[in-house]
Amino acid sequence: MTSKKMAPSAAPSLILFDGEGRARKSAAHALRVQLPDGRSLTVDLSQAADGVVSLLAEHSDPRQRAGLLARPDSHDALAVAVTATPQLTTTGTPATPPELTLDVQYGDGIRGRRGLPPRARLQTWLRSALFADAQLTVRFVGEDEGRALNRGFRGKDYATNVLTFAYAEHEDDPVTADIVLCCPVVEREAREQRKPLEAHYAHLLVHGALHAQGYEHEDDAEAEEMEAIETETLLALGFADPYRDDRGPRLGH
């Protein structure tokens, strides 16, 4: 039996669609999607003849580490997000940690409550989510104070897991914020979502630190970006993906 050598494959086809859905076809070996903030995603088609497509995430700022987060979008599709976090050491903290001035406060009857993370752990978690120096106050409260704050500032008459009050008005202003965690709500959610209480506190602190720096989740695109950064940060800290089963309400709602 003789074998027949296959002829070299032609370059794969790249089909681009404009905003009105019109398609333009071109032969290509790679495609780079450049995002406005310096992140980019390169689709390498050089091994397409073998059915392999490689994805490369990059960041033009050497202080930022680009990453990829892929999540099932439907039964046959994946959504890919390009994340950006500070360069990390093996401990999960930025290679050049931002300066953090931290004040820790406790509401009535909260100090000494079981499961509260110690100050050193709070500092590690917060620094892992900071892109710039920050002055933060973390306050642990009970359900009454949490409900009063949520009602007074957001018009919602219930206690929520985390509230962030960010005080920077302009992009160049120092990162200054109060992050309020309602302990009974955090503890209840951790039980319902079957996750360690420490992991849930870490997630909420990272979430609050991102809000302090201007991140929001008012629409799907913002939420996906914020959740991608949270996931990568939590993984670097040694915790599981907090959204792996999409359990529980979105944070801060």
Query: What are the tens digits of pLDDT across the range 29-66?
Result: 677 888 877 788 888 776 766 666 778 787 867 567 67
pLDDT level of residue 101 (50, 70, 90 thresholds)? very high
- The answer to whether 175 touches 133, Cβ cutoff 8 Å, is yes
- Burial, 13: exposed, middle or buried (Cβ in 10 Å; 0-12, 13-18, 19+)? exposed
Please give the structure tokens belonging to residue 27. Answer: 């032969």
**Residue 253 assigned to a binding site:** no
Residue 70 has pLDDT above 60, yes or no: yes
What pLDDT score was predicted for residue 248?
45
pTM for the model stands at 0.64
Question: How far apart (Å, rounded) are the C-alpha atoms in residues 17 and 185?
Answer: 46
Q: Is 211 annotated as a binding residue?
A: yes
The annotation status of 59 as a binding-site residue, yes or no, is: no
Mean pLDDT score, 221-228: 91
* SS3 (DSSP) at 187: helix
* Domains of the chain, residue spans: 13-84, 98-235
What was the pLDDT predicted at 90? 45
Paired strand residues for 54: 44
Pick the CATH number of 98-235 from 3.40.390.30, 1.10.3720.10, 1.20.1600.10, 3.40.50.300: 3.40.390.30
% of the chain with per-residue pLDDT over 70: 76
Per-residue pLDDT of 163-193, as tens digits, reads 999 999 887 889 999 999 999 999 999 999 9
Pairing between β-strand 23-27 and β-strand 30-34 as defined by DSSP bridges: unpaired
